[in-house]
Amino acid sequence: MPLMLRIITPERIVLEEQVDQVTASAIDGELSILPGHQPLITALKPDVLRYIAKKEDEFAAVMGGILEVKNDEVTVLSDVAELDREIDHARATQAKERAMAEATQKTDKLDVYVSEMAIGRAMARLKAVEFREQRKRRR
């Protein structure tokens, strides 16, 4: 019996699909969810969420949020999430470079934190694109 994976942001339902496995980065480490998993709620850090659908690895950049597992349903609620195929590599690279340049000019703790979050978002997006490219090369 597969899992139902839903990735939801305030703007849209990013994904709603039956999958065989979900692997995500929680704030206290990586976890994988298989059918029959016990109920769970955990906070996610900005990173790539990997899921296996139809025996293929698929990826989404998730900018933190909450992951809930209940009755073979995995729901991810995040402010921002994108499937790897939606991410423009050039724009993601520019966003990372811009965020890193801004981070070097910040001294206020809040500004530094905001810059670090922007870098984390850009890195997650680039990581998802990198995984997509690796998958294409394997085919």
Provide the residue ranges of all domains of the chain, joining segments of one domain with +. Answer: 3-84, 87-138
Residue 104 CB partners (closer than 8 Å, separation 6+): none
To the question of pTM greater than 0.95 for the whole model, the response is no
At 70 the pLDDT is 97
Domains 3-84 and 87-138 fall in the same CATH topology:
no
At 124 the pLDDT is 81
Domain at 3-84: CATH architecture:
Sandwich (2.60)
* 41 phi/psi in degrees, rounded to 5: -135, 130
At 138 the pLDDT is 67
Tell me the average confidence (pLDDT) per consecutive run of 10 residues in the chain, 139 residues long. Answer: 94 96 95 96 94 92 94 96 83 72 69 70 78 71
- Fold of domain 87-138: 1.20.5
At 113 the pLDDT is 66
Tokens 């520019």 belong to 94
At 106 the pLDDT is 64
At 103 the pLDDT is 65
